[in-house]
Amino acid sequence: MSMLDGWWDDFFFGLVTVLQVFSVSLVIAVVCGLLGASAKLSKSRVLRGIAQAYTIVFRGAPELLVLLLFYFGMAIALTQVVQLFDPSVKFIDLPPFWAGSIAIGLIVGAYMTETFRGAFLGVDRGQIEAARALSLKRHQIFRYVRFPQMWRLALPNFGNHMLSIMKDTALVSIIGLEEILFVAKMANSLIHRPFLLYMTVALIYLAITTVITLAVGWLEVRANRHLRGAR
Amino acid sequence: MSFDLSLIASSLPKILQGLGLTLNLLAVSTLFGLILAVGILLMRLSRRAWLVWPARAYIYFFRGTPLLVQLFVIYHGLPQFGFIRQSVFWPILRDPYWCSVIALSLNTAAYVSEILRGGVLGVDKGFIEAGKALGLSKFQRTTRITAPLAVRLALPAYSNEIVSMLKSTALASTVTLMEMTGVARTIVADTFAPYEIFIAATIIYLVLVWIIQTAFTLIETYTNRHVRKI
Amino acid sequence: MADIIVLEKMNKFYGTYHALKDVNLTIAKGEKVVVCGPSGSGKSTMIRCINRLEEHDSGRIIVAGEELTDDEKKIDRVRREVGMVFQSFNLFPHMTVLENLTLAPRLVRKTATAEAEAIAMKYLTRVRIPDQAHKYPSQLSGGQQQRVAIARALCMNPEVMLFDEPTSALDPEMISEVLDVMTDLAQEGMTMVCVTHEMGFARSVADRIVFMDHGEIVEVAKPYDFFASPKSERARTFLGQILAH
């Protein structure tokens, strides 16, 4: 491991970048998932159609392709918009951080759409009727009856989606964001220990995904505690 | 903003030149992955700890790390060792095609073995007890009762895994392979029309996904014919 | 006595299916009414219209002086005065028994938590399971769950209680523990509308029996008259089937 001396702080900052991309992507994915699920469950045919197209495209296209499309495509779009105001601008680079986070967020958001939709439909109708019979208001029914039960149903898949986001962050190195895989490539060009370096990256990812898995497991135990000792 | 529809149309045939390699990677890796997955599944279901734990460790590693990193470890990482460069496997391990196949197969095997395990655990114990009561041997119960029912239960998840594999083949472009995404990236580097080219490539992938899903729907209808309402 | 529920020429359709046909029924405060009839006769639909879990298509429904319309505020006022017990209990699985009982009083009646818990314990004692307060519903038997559901409705201190086949989902040995609680409630003077196939309960508790078939009220009678000499052929057939075993 002494061969990696001098590179640890680069790996550390790479790790911070990974966690930043993860956090931003997660927020985007949850927002897209909630919007997508609401659209799929709405009465409007237009909204349902848009949500359907969204999930088909973002679940069907390779993650790498979506990422490249966002990174290069949005840079061009941005440049053209800016050139309308200032023709002297030659090229505007979309920061890879944002291109990557938005692309990953939209991709995983498409999967979350299906998860949230399923969880919403999975709550027994009788539960909602009982709450209405007790004259709870719509927002109270959502907050106290529907959401806690949705959460329990969605949690296992939600955990898998978090793992997907985490693993997808490795792709962002391809568009030049200095996360841990990128750091390993840089280091390799100087010290030529590719196996050691890439294996280090793998183990860092393994550590983070382990933490996520344990955290989701803990949340699941909490969400299911009412089933303990059930007959 | 310029957006050239004719460019999409004209780039489709060029990108389709990578279709063969994409499908080749998909088919070969799916086959190897399935064989490996069955082996891991048998280890995982065994009662012997020295078989169970390696299987669990394998699944844990390959599901817990990004495929791109696995690919880099195999393609860029292994040549670090002299004994690998001197071994009989070197012609395979220096070839980006085989490295991609190995990474994809190892990766999918971890997921598929868990999908199959879910199917096996989902088989109703009552059917297995009925098999015991009829005097079938353990091998007969496994091949005639558990396996066919488990496959039916696992099919929907397996079709998702195949779609996921198709998308993963795009990563082969990062180790210089000219499958569809690789071809698309080359054209973009020449024309610098990323929107049109990448959208054209996306359309082809979506058609392939549609074909895979339709095929699996047909297979599921066939395997579930015993529950069809008359 | 004042009329607490009035149904006037009420009709209900599911698409083209005519589920309730010109239903007229008036229930006075303190009255106990048992609704019976073959499955698919519209009994459940009728009582679900009373607290607007189903919307009627024509006619009038007046509950506790409020006519039910699209007005959300009126619906809320009516639901506060009408307790409901479901066939499948519908206890909230993620809340303890006590949380199930205090939820609506706290959120709707704005009762302080300590007071809501005191009220909840009072009703849990009435339904004879105060010791289960801190368990989750899945840890109780079906009969216990249904008694919790009755207590949950009572915690809102309703004017009327609706029962939608409260014992149909229960194992035979648990039916009587629920019926005993309902009989107690009747003797305390609660207004009750009860859809049930328990004819023994109907005979001993009901003031009137409403017999429905094919979405119509076919016959309304005192229990003695209904069981001894049903006027309609359809009621005779129904009683013949249900009393045969």
Residue A171 in contact with partner chain B when CB distance is under 8 A: yes
A130 and C103: CB-CB below 8 Å?
no
Q: Give the DSSP H/E element, type plus range, for residue C6.
A: strand C3-14
Closest of B179, C99, B163, B76 to residue A202, by C-alpha: B76
The answer for residues whose C-beta is within 8 angstroms of residue A177's C-beta and 6 or more apart is A17, A21, A96, A97, A100
B129 within some domain: yes
**Per-residue DSSP letters for B155-171?**
HHHHHHHHHHHHHHGGG
Query: Letter for the amino acid at B67?
Result: L
User: Sorting pLDDT into bands at 50, 70 and 90, what band is B193?
Assistant: confident
Kindly give, in sequence order, each residue whose CB lies less than 8 Å from that of residue B70, ignoring residues fewer than 6 positions away. A202, B62, B103, B106, B107
Pick from B3, B14, B5, B26: nearest CA to B180: B14
ipTM reported for the complex, 2 dp: 0.91
Contacts of residue C141 in chain A, CB cutoff 8 Å? 231
Measure B190 CA to nearest chain A CA, in Å.
13
- How large a percentage of chain C has pLDDT more than 90? 84
Q: Check if the beta carbon of residue A188 is closer than 8 Å to that of residue A194.
A: yes
Rounded Cα distance between C101 and C121, Å, is 9
Which residues, at least 6 apart from A166, have a Cβ–Cβ distance to it below 8 Å?
Answer: A18, A22, A205, A208, A209, A212
C238 near A CB under 8 A: no
Residue from A106, A198, A201 whose CB has the most chain B CBs within 10 Å, to mutate: A198
In this complex, the chains that touch A, judged by 3 or more CB pairs closer than 8 A, are B, C
Cβ <8 Å between A133 and C83: yes
Residues of A in Cβ contact (< 8 Å) with B194? 68-69, 72-73, 76
C136/A130 Cβ within 8 A: no
Dihedral sign (CA B153, B156, B159, B161): negative
At A80 the pLDDT is 80
Chains A and B lie in contact, requiring 3 or more CB pairs less than 8 Å apart:
yes
CA distance A210 to C9: 64
Contact call for residues B113 and B44 (beta carbons, < 8 A): yes
Q: C75-110: per-residue pLDDT in tens?
A: 888 999 999 999 999 999 889 999 999 999 999 889
Q: What is the pLDDT of residue A231?
A: 46
- Residues β-bridged to residue C210: C35, C220
**Average of pLDDT values for C22-42?**
94
Express each pLDDT in A166-215 by its tens digit: 999 999 999 989 999 999 999 999 988 999 999 999 999 999 999 999 99
**E-assigned strand segments in A32-165:** none
Tokens 């792709």 belong to residue: A171
Give the residue, B143 or C193, on which the prediction is more confident.
Answer: C193
Query: What's the pLDDT at B1?
Result: 44
Q: How confident is the model at residue B140 (pLDDT cuts 50, 70, 90)?
A: confident
Whether residue C79 lies within 8 A of chain A, CB to CB, comes out as yes
pLDDT of residue A1: 59
Judging contacts by C-beta atoms under 8 Å, the chain A residues touching residue C83 are 133
Number of domains in chain B: 1
Euclidean distance between CA atoms A144 and C163, whole angstroms: 24
pLDDT at residue C1 greater than cutoff 60: no
**CA-nearest residue of chain A to C156?**
A134
- Closest-approach residue (CA) in chain A for B169: A62
Tokens at A99, concatenated? 């291109």
Output the pLDDT for position B228: 62
- State yes or no: pLDDT of B37 exceeds 80: yes
Integer Cα distance of A126 and C145 in angstroms: 14
CB contact at 8 A, B12 and B205: no
Chains with 3 or more CB pairs closer than 8 angstroms to C? A
With an 8 Å Cβ cutoff, are A199 and B73 in contact?
A: yes
φ and ψ at C66, to 5 degrees? Answer: -110, 130
Element spanning C32, H or E: strand C32-36
How close C104 gets to chain A, by Cα (Å)?
Answer: 6
State whether CATH 1.10.3720.10 applies to domain A2-230.
yes
- Rounded Cα distance between B225 and A102, Å, is 43
Task: List chain C residues with CB under 8 Å of A223.
Answer: 94
DSSP strand pairing (C17-28 vs C82-85):
unpaired
Closest CA to C142 of C134, C153, C150: C150
Do A198 and B79 lie within an 8 Å CB cutoff?
no
Q: How much is the pLDDT for B2? A: 57
- Is B107 contained in some domain? yes
CB contact under 8 Å between A227 and C156, yes or no, is: no
Q: Which residue stretches of chain C are H helix?
A: 43-50, 72-81, 97-107, 113-126, 142-154, 172-187, 199-205, 223-228, 233-243
Asked if the C-beta of B1 comes within 8 angstroms of chain A's C-beta atoms, the answer is yes
Q: Do A65 and B66 touch (CB under 8 A)?
A: no
Question: Average pLDDT in the B4-24 region?
Answer: 91
Q: Decide: B19 and B163 in contact? Cβ < 8 Å.
A: no
Q: How confident is the model at residue C206 (pLDDT cuts 50, 70, 90)?
A: very high
Neighbours of chain B (3+ CB pairs under 8 A): A
Q: Is the pTM of this model over 0.80?
A: yes
**Could you say which of A73, A184, A192 has the minimum Cβ distance to residue B198?**
A73
Question: A215: which 2 tokens?
Answer: 């955290």
Instruction: Give chain C positions within 8 Å (CB) of A127.
Output: 90, 92
Distance, CA of C88 to CA of C92 (rounded, Å)? 11
User: Is residue C22 classed as helix, strand or coil in its secondary structure?
Assistant: strand
Residue of chain C nearest A224, judged by CA positions:
C94
Chain A positions touching B63 (Cβ under 8 A) are: 163, 209
- pLDDT tens sequence across C129-162: 999 999 999 999 999 999 999 999 999 999 999 9
CA of A108 vs chain C CAs: smallest distance (Å)? 28
The C-alpha atoms of residue C156 and residue A124 are separated, in whole angstroms, by 23
Residue B8 binned pLDDT confidence (cut-offs 50, 70, 90)? confident
Query: How far apart (Å, rounded) are the C-alpha atoms in residues C42 and C32?
Result: 19
Measured between beta carbons, the chain C residues lying within 8 angstroms of A124 are 90
- Answer whether residue A230 shows pLDDT above 70: no
Q: Where is B36: in which H helix or E strand?
A: helix B19-45
Place of tokens 């495509």: A73
Contacts of C88 in chain A (CB under 8 A): 126
A104: burial class by Cβ within 10 Å (0-12, 13-18, 19+)? Answer: buried
Q: Are C210 and C34 in contact (CB under 8 A)?
A: yes
Q: Rounded to an integer, what distance in angstroms lies between the CA atom of residue B144 and that of residue B3?
A: 57
A217 touches B: beta carbon within 8 Å: no
User: CB distance from B159 to chain A under 8 Å?
Assistant: no
**Tell me, what DSSP letter sits at residue C29?**
T
User: With b meaning 16 or more CB within 10 Å and e meaning fewer, what string describes B54-91?
Assistant: ebeebbeebbbbbbbbbbbbbbbbbebeeeeeeeeeee
Residues pairing with C212 in the sheet: C217
Handedness of CA B7, B13, B17, B18 (dihedral sign): positive
CB-facing half-sphere around the CA of A206: CA atoms within 13 A? 15
C and B touch with 3+ CB pairs <8 Å, answer: no
Residue among C88, C91, C104 whose CB faces A135 most closely: C104
Structural domain range at position B106: 21-174
DSSP string, A136-178: --HHHIIIIIIHHHHHHHHHHHHHHHHHHHHHHGGGGGGGT--
What would the pLDDT profile of A80-122 be if each residue is shown by its tens digit? 888 888 877 777 777 899 999 999 999 999 999 999 999 999 9
Residue of A nearest to C153 (CA): A134
